[in-house]
Structure 1
Amino acid sequence: MNSVAVLVELTRNPMSGGQVKCWERFAEAAARLPEELPDGPVPDLTVYFLGERDRVETLSPHVRFVMLRPVLSTAALMSADGAADASDLAPYHHRLATLLPRHDVWHLTHSFAYATTAVRLARAAARRGPRVPRLVASVHTDVPKLTSVYTRYFADRGLPLPGDLLADRTERWLRRRRDRLLNACERVLVPTPAGRAEFAPLLGPHRVSLLRRGTDHDRFHPDPTARARLARRYGLPTDRPLVLFAGRLDASKGLPLLARSLRLLHARGGRAHLVMAGSGAEADAVHRLLGTDATLLGPLPQERLAPVYAGCDVFAFPSRTETCGNVVAEAMASGLAVLLPEGAATTQWLTAPGRDGIVVPDDDPHTWADALSTLVSHPGHLATVRTHAAATARHHHPTWDRVLTEDLLPHWTPVSAYGTTHVRAA
């Protein structure tokens, strides 16, 4: 049985973000696999996360989560603004280093402690030979771009360098670091064709493949009763459309742009109420701007988030930092009309832009206010877009089980005996 270690160097908890949820769904899909596949036994899968304490959570005899305490956690830095999930900035994770040699495939998903430890161990194994682990990687978040946003936040607190200069330097450094780690891998998986085009010049087209994201259609689906329950629970208005934003409430997700566009919509006489699920640095600013026209629900686990989707009308997501944006797929599966920025990776979820979702041509608040108005001020058009969005999700968005089988397992299955693959030099 081939043993696979997936290294997700983010803290796992019920409120964790999309990358953690992605690997939870893949692990659940792996636990549903039969013991034997047409090509042989199913892989033995261990997904490593960060946690407050070392522990193991077993999903099936061949699937488990392992949580390891971080060495140099970013939790204190990030928690102040409800920012991205905490990671580990240590150059080496000794506990992980003792566990990795039991696995045949090491799957990197980030570029900090877990990834640097794996690449360092793999290069040492290559020098010793002949037992060389196979290194695979997948790209889930544009970490350099995300970090540049937070660098600007922290620079505003009195750091000695100008925020823009420090952010640009940090982003360039992190891209070089990420690319060195990816270049050590025999295969890199990206979520979109645009991602393949981005990494092919660096790695070679033959080393870059697609890893789509799945949708849990049992959890996320239209529910005509959800609106009334949502209004009762949170005191939301029932006489106007609800515009949902789910994710980190900060500039990395485009929330300030959305808030300004809703303010313009209201000034023109349009009626809509913003519902925010999440936490972040911009929460107070949005409340000051929109007042009683916005409701903050706070961070929600997925079982509570699903009825929030189903109870709203529009999902507006101006983010350009997503490599995939699974929240868009969840919103469409729940029957929401989605508003997305032109050129963003999130538009991949649409099959007929203009029919199953609205693509906004630029990042100007007036343009976004215009796009919102075409939906919230025209109930018939809104209903049509919502119907098409749900149909696209139902017929075109794959399940997690399908993505696991078609996009992941082929790259985890051994193609030859140990020692015939190699770790690439930095």
Structure 2
Amino acid sequence: MRVTIVTETFPPQVNGVSRTLGELARRLEGRGDAVQVVYPDYGDRPDRPHACRVRSISLPFYKELRLPLPPFGRVHRAVDAFRPDVIHVATEAFLGLSLLRHASRRSIPVVSSFHTNFDQYSAHYGVGWARSLIWRYLRWFHNRTRETYVPSRTTIAQLEAKGFERLVLWPRGVDCTFFRPDRPARDAVRAAFGWTPEDVAIVYVGRIAPEKNIDYLADALAIVAERRPGVRILFVGDGPSREELEGRLGGVAAFAGYQVGDALADHYAAGDLFAFSSTTETFGNVVQEAMASGMPVVALRAGGVGEIVRDGETGTLLDEDAPPDAFARALIRLADRTDERRRMAQAARAYAESQSWDAIMDALRDRYERVIAPTAP
């Protein structure tokens, strides 16, 4: 099988979408498939033979995301030369639209995946007035592909209510041999922050930005720090809200910035409890990685996160409208109750071990084959 993946984010970028698509490409290639990835030029040196990098610019309000710029004639020629059996479009912006139209002219089957709640993001970046327009465009775009792969049942229900068609569940896996609580550098990371073996550490991993509900989390953690000054707090990640957050919590929290590879897994393993208050997640890869690392999760019951965390078993879920004080009390409860926290940590790890990337990607590959089959000679 020959597969073209079209995306605006891909390794070495660090986020849930890039990790998912990186896993997809790696596992398809492991099955012997030829994979072409069309993605923005990050200045890296790709080690894949069919990479097609596109000129792009950083968005002023989301500098980590790069927007590919037209014209895309060179991309079209690269796709024609590769001769894919199917094109998987993971971006609805200019690049994705261009490839959708090009594939239609060439009669190449196109599938898509829905990763980001752009309509919810719009409210955080001053363009909330465009939400209805964004929804109409997204529905138009995805309904012109053969299938749309969605990471959670909650998101499928939301999209179906908006008129999206042919939606297929495509959840996320986690590498439990990589993300695990017994990482060899766990103790070194804790020692570097000045933590003792007995200290309880609350960790957040992700983009530090408004769309992650970071102000709410800061309010909750400030309450934790006031009521339990011995509890440690760590932020792993970066973003436009980091400077303000450090100003608020710099005296009680540590900030590690972006971490990748082994360093990222080591920072996860250093934690005892994971705090996540985002309400915009279509899935929540970081939550599953935290669980694989042996951390129970305190989160809001919103989006895909509510399908990952089992309330009272692998963590604590609060209603989306719960005040920060309630979130803080949930964190303090688990910080105080060592036996309960450890029981949940074991259950979280066991759940993560059941989420195999192999099974998930094999199922997606089977969907590709079904899409291709009607067009085979």
User: TM (normalized to structure 1)?
Assistant: 0.81
* One-letter identity of the residue aligned with 2:117: D
1:401 aligned partner: 358
Whether the 8 Å CA contact 2:152–2:283 is kept in 1: the answer is yes
* One-letter identity of the residue aligned with 2:88: H
Match of 1:74 among 58, 64, 71: 58
Output one character per residue of 1:62-117: Cα deviation in whole Å (capped at 9) or x when no partner. Answer: xx56141325x2355533xxxx42222x4652221212232221111111122111
Identity of paired residues, percent?
Answer: 23
Whether the 8 Å CA contact 2:143–2:164 is kept in 1: the answer is no
Whether the 8 Å CA contact 1:92–1:114 is kept in 2: the answer is no
Counterpart CA distance in 2 for 1:363 and 1:70 is: 43
Aligned residue for 1:312, secondary structure, equals coil
For residues 358-377 of structure 1, what are the structure 2 equivalents within 5 Å? 358-361=316-319, 362-377=321-336
Output one character per residue of 1:228-269: Cα deviation in whole Å (capped at 9) or x when no partner. Answer: 211233444555311111111112112211111111123234
Distance 1:210 1:51, change over 3 A: same
Distance 1:55 1:192, change over 3 A: same
Larger mean Cα displacement after TM superposition, 181-190 or 377-386: 377-386
Runs of 5+ unmatched residues, structure 1: 36-42, 59-63, 126-131, 153-166, 420-426
Q: Is 2:284 aligned against 1:297?
A: no
Aligned residue for 1:215, secondary structure, equals coil
2:21 aligned partner: 23
Aligned residue for 2:234, secondary structure, equals strand
For residues 237-248 of structure 1, what are the structure 2 equivalents within 5 Å? 238-248=197-207
Match of 1:139 among 114, 127, 134: 114
Counterpart CA distance in 2 for 1:372 and 1:231 is: 19
Displacement after TM superposition at 1:122 (Å): 3.1
For residues 20-419 of structure 1, what are the structure 2 equivalents within 5 Å? 20-33=18-31, 35=32, 43-52=33-42, 56-58=46-48, 64=49, 66-71=51-56, 73-75=57-59, 77-79=61-63, 84-88=64-68, 90=69, 92-101=71-80, 102-125=83-106, 132-149=107-124, 151-152=125-126, 167-201=127-161, 207-223=166-182, 226-236=185-195, 238-269=197-228, 271-350=230-309, 352-361=310-319, 362-394=321-353, 396-397=354-355, 399-413=356-370, 414-418=372-376
Aligned residue for 2:62, secondary structure, equals helix
Displacement after TM superposition at 1:375 (Å): 0.7
* One-letter identity of the residue aligned with 1:57: D
Displacement after TM superposition at 1:408 (Å): 3.4
Displacement after TM superposition at 1:328 (Å): 0.7
Counterpart CA distance in 2 for 1:320 and 1:382 is: 24
Distance 1:237 1:210, change over 3 A: same
Aligned residue for 1:415, secondary structure, equals helix
Output one character per residue of 1:209-238: Cα deviation in whole Å (capped at 9) or x when no partner. Answer: 111111111111121754421123344455
Counterpart CA distance in 2 for 1:133 and 1:321 is: 33
RMSD of aligned residue pairs (Cα, Å): 2.3
2:12 aligned partner: 14
Which structure has more RCO (C-alpha within 8 Å, separation ≥ 6)?
1
